[in-house]
Amino acid sequence: MPIETRKLTSAPSILPLYARAAAPLVPGASLLPFVPGGGGEIPEVRLELDGVRADPDAVAAYARVCGFALRDHLPPTYPHVLAFPLHMALMSDGSFPFGAVGLVHVANRITQHRRLGIGEELALRVQATKLAPHPKGRTFNVVTEVRVGRQIAWESTSTFLRRGKGDPSAASGEAFPTVPEETPASAEWRLGGDLGRRYASVSGDRNPIHMHALTAKPLGFPAAIAHGMWTKARALAALEPRLPDAFAVDVRFRRPILLPARVEFASADDGDEIDFTVRGRGEKRSSRHLDGRVKAKTGKAK
Amino acid sequence: MNPETRRVAVLGGNRIPFARSDTKYAHATNQDMLTAALDGLVDRFGLAGERLGEVAGGAVLKHSHDRDLTRESVLSTRLAPETPAYDVQQACGTGLETAILVANKIALGQIDVGIACGADTTSDAPIELNEELRATLLEANRQRSTSGKLKTLARFRPGHVVPRIPRNEEPRTGLSMGEHTAVMATEWDLGRAEQDELAVASHKNLTTAYERGFFTDLITPYLGLERDGNLRPDSSLEKLAKLKPVFGGPEGTMTAANSTPLSDGASAVLLASEEWAKEHDLPVLAWFSEAQTAAIDHVHKREGLLMAPAYAMPRMLDRAGLTLQDFDYYEIHEAFAAQVLCTLKAWEDEAFCKEKLGREAPLGAIDRAKLNVNGGSLAAAHPFAATGGRIVAGLAKQLHEDGKGRGVISICAAGGQGVVAILEGPEGATR
């Protein structure tokens, strides 16, 4: 079946999408045609949005919350924010097999082929891949491309886990490098109880698990948890002066960070590669929240 | 200690375009802008990973949380983190003073290369806690008992939530810089037209410099700004004549056009020894050859607040064995058109030169065609600590274009201070 392409003329507005994304949590709602759910396969739909320009004031607010300096190019994680409304639209479509609220973001890989200028006109392409078996359920990827003209300048793959009947024989993913526990931390971060709300206001990601303990509890978390993409952005901000212009950064989201929190950041630089981790402090070091690796990209952009 | 001093080379500069307050850089901090200016310099001169001798920088309006602003900015760039840095603060003289500090260390052989830089924002200005509230909180903190703490905190009054917003005023006179300059303008009998003419020339010269691509390797665009936001290419005497005075009362001659606006920006200049420049295969744009700082007593002796450069200049010229006419370029910072004109008049004035400067003859007039040839602060705007770097880099580039020649810089500063310096062309001063 060919991929259905839907061209959008403006970024979808996020809040109504959340209502639909959360609707499958209401028993029986998935039987309605406009509510996602009902299982089945992921629709082969590609969403496209052209003529996107980052708003410098919004970039400034995002940079402040994540710890980036406000430069003339976008923070490497920022295109994810630009594409987020498309992710939501994709996953809250009536044909989507399950609701976005309740999915677990387990991994994200960003490849920045070159720096994106704040004023550059970007074209976004978002599509989801087929379901794959996982020991704890099933996973799928949401793939985002950012083009400038005809060139792919930035791309990302977010992997989501839909918890459910797993396939114990499925590989849980390749071994992922981690910073050894004995590597001393380079920084300690104090994360406020309002971090989820602050990041929500600059990213648009208002998933209830990040907003407040009262909204996180019904979804199984004792407190609001930090956004995985904030944690990734904060880590890249800490590494910012060492990041090359072109690089790939792959992360695995491990244990959620319950807010407020004090966590450690540690990294190990090996020339072309930088491994990093966000983990508990002191005795809780073995409890890792995020593992990541930055790899310089050489050669021409695609 | 090394008894020999070395020549100091200006290798280039970089700045972000200057923005009028609360426009394009409304959400940028001093650290963001300084980092952006340094980033551009690092890229342009391939300094990524280099450990430099030092980076001296500063800002005039600084938040208390911007402790070690320059060092923190360096850590955000691709310079080697082992590059030391420190902050300087000398009002509007900050930028040029950082260049003098770095140059002197290079001349003495203490370092081989360094960056002089500065940034200022009036958009992201510091707002202080109400002074009484601050005192109350500190006092409560000193109380040991809970009841003592509560008793102290009970002194809190609703009026205490009104913060203190920094004002552009002299602490000892209570007058703003504009008001001080209006007094100078009256003393030196300045007319409105000559001030407006200087403003128009500034816009015209800056526009021409942009058009001939002069700033291509001096400026890196930032946050959607490619040229200075204050530049008005269509500025004219007729338009300026319509403006109402903003300082000196209804009869005043100073307007929003012949005074610099509040603005945001940052600049950086790369200085090095001749050997370092050679090793890195970088051409010398100019030699940083002389500098002088002076101050006047604007409080008790009632000297014009911004007249200190008039005093600094002859001291420097005497040391260098030069006259005021020995220059191909005069870069006089246009804080206000009136400041420039008062300074020029003072140098021409027999009584001033005799009584105040103790000289037998006046310094004399300059050829006005050589004044701020690539535009000045009235057109580019004046983010306080960033102005020195803008001028040093621009003059150095101009001297490099000519090959030979000599230029002088004069910058007035709050607190009755002034900073002047001389740059010489790469092949020497004589044309």
CATH number at residue A20: 3.10.129.10
CB B406 within 8 A of CB B370: no
User: Is the domain of A109 the same as that of A181?
Assistant: no
Among B6, B8, B81, which residue's Cα sits nearest to residue B392?
B8
pLDDT digits (tens, 9 = 90+) for A35-85: 777 678 888 899 999 999 999 999 999 999 999 999 999 999 999 999 999
Q: Last residue of some domain: A120, A140, A168?
A: A168
Q: DSSP string spanning B365-417? A: ---GGGBSTT--HHHH---GGGHHHHHHHHHHHHHHHHSS-EEEEEEEETTTE
What gap in Å lies between CA A155 and CA A301, rounded to an integer? Answer: 11
Q: Last residue of some domain: A104, A139, A168?
A: A168
Burial grade of B377 (CB within 10 A; 0-12, 13-18, 19 or more): buried
What gap in Å lies between CA A123 and CA A110, rounded to an integer? Answer: 16
Catalytic residue of the set B203, B333, B382, B400:
B382
Residue B324: domain span: 177-213+288-422
What gap in Å lies between CA B42 and CA B32, rounded to an integer? Answer: 15
Q: Sorting pLDDT into bands at 50, 70 and 90, what band is B160?
A: confident
Q: What is the pLDDT of residue B202?
A: 98
Nearest C-alpha of chain A: how many angstroms from B66?
14
Contact B77 A70 (CB under 8 A): no
User: Is the domain of A17 the same as that of A151?
Assistant: yes
Contact B32 A69 (CB under 8 A): yes
**Inter-chain CB pairs, A–B, below 8 Å:** 41
Q: What is the pLDDT of residue A34?
A: 67
Does any domain span residue B88?
Answer: no
pLDDT digits (tens, 9 = 90+) for B81-132: 999 999 999 999 999 999 999 999 999 999 999 999 999 998 887 777 778 8
User: Is the domain of A162 the same as that of A199?
Assistant: no
Does any domain span residue B153?
Answer: no
B358-372: buried (b, 16+ CB within 10 Å) or exposed (e) per residue? eeeebbeebeeebbb
Does any domain span residue B72?
Answer: no
Does any domain span residue B16?
Answer: no
Q: Which residues of chain A lie closer than 8 angstroms to B31, CB-CB?
A: 69
User: Is the domain of A191 the same as that of A67?
Assistant: no
Q: What is the pLDDT of residue A301?
A: 40
Residue A183: domain span: 176-302
Contact A69 B78 (CB under 8 A): no
A226-233 mean pLDDT: 98
For residues B131 and A207, which has the higher predicted lDDT (pLDDT)?
Answer: A207
What gap in Å lies between CA B427 and CA B431, rounded to an integer? Answer: 9
User: Is the domain of A152 the same as that of A183?
Assistant: no
With a cut of 60, say whether residue B153 has pLDDT above it. yes
User: Is the domain of A64 the same as that of A193?
Assistant: no
Q: Sorting pLDDT into bands at 50, 70 and 90, what band is A294?
A: very high
Q: Which residues of chain B lie closer than 8 angstroms to A71, CB-CB?
A: 32, 35-36, 39
User: Is the domain of A194 the same as that of A145?
Assistant: no
Q: Sorting pLDDT into bands at 50, 70 and 90, what band is A302?
A: very low
Q: What angle do CA B301, B304, B308 make, to 5 degrees?
A: 95
Q: A241 — contact with chain B (CB < 8 Å)? A: yes
The HSE-up count of residue B59 (CA atoms within 13 Å, CB side) is: 30
Among B27, B76, B81, beta carbon nearest to A69: B76
CB A54 within 8 A of CB A94: no
Q: What is the pLDDT of residue B125?
A: 77
B207-224 mean pLDDT: 97
pLDDT digits (tens, 9 = 90+) for B268-295: 999 999 999 999 999 999 999 999 999 9
Nearest C-alpha of chain A: how many angstroms from B224?
6
User: Is the domain of A8 the same as that of A108?
Assistant: yes
Does any domain span residue B22?
Answer: no
User: Is the domain of A19 the same as that of A142?
Assistant: yes
What gap in Å lies between CA A97 and CA A40, rounded to an integer? Answer: 5
Q: Which two tokens stand for residue A176?
A: 């992922």
Q: What is the predicted ipTM?
A: 0.86
Q: Which two tokens stand for residue B422?
A: 């001389």
User: Is the domain of A79 the same as that of A127?
Assistant: yes
Nearest CA in chain A to B49: A242
pLDDT digits (tens, 9 = 90+) for B371-402: 999 999 999 999 999 999 999 999 999 999 99
pLDDT digits (tens, 9 = 90+) for A137-180: 999 999 999 999 999 999 999 999 998 888 888 775 668 988 99
> Which residue in the block uniquely carries the two structure tokens 């985002």?
A144
For residues B145 and A36, which has the higher predicted lDDT (pLDDT)?
Answer: B145
Q: Which two tokens stand for residue B400?
A: 């490099």
Q: Which two tokens stand for residue B251?
A: 């009869």
Among A61, A72, A241, beta carbon nearest to B75: A241
Contact B24 A119 (CB under 8 A): no
Look at chain A and report how many structural domains it folds into.
2
What gap in Å lies between CA A239 and CA B75, rounded to an integer? Answer: 10
Rg (CA), chain A: 19
Q: What is the pLDDT of residue A170?
A: 79
B363-372 mean pLDDT: 98
A293-298 mean pLDDT: 92
CB atoms within 10 A of CB A30: 19
Nearest CA in chain B to A57: B27
Look at chain B and report how many structural domains it folds into.
1
Q: What is the pLDDT of residue B166?
A: 65
Does any domain span residue B312?
Answer: yes
Q: A271 — contact with chain B (CB < 8 Å)? A: no
User: Is the domain of A11 the same as that of A148?
Assistant: yes
Does any domain span residue B162?
Answer: no
Does any domain span residue B280?
Answer: no
Q: Last residue of some domain: A151, A168, A185?
A: A168
Nearest C-alpha of chain B: how many angstroms from A61?
8
User: Is the domain of A6 the same as that of A153?
Assistant: yes
The set of residues, in sequence order, having a beta carbon less than 8 Å from that of A95 and lying 6+ positions away, is: A36, A43, A45
With a cut of 80, say whether residue A26 has pLDDT above it. no
Nearest C-alpha of chain A: how many angstroms from B209?
24
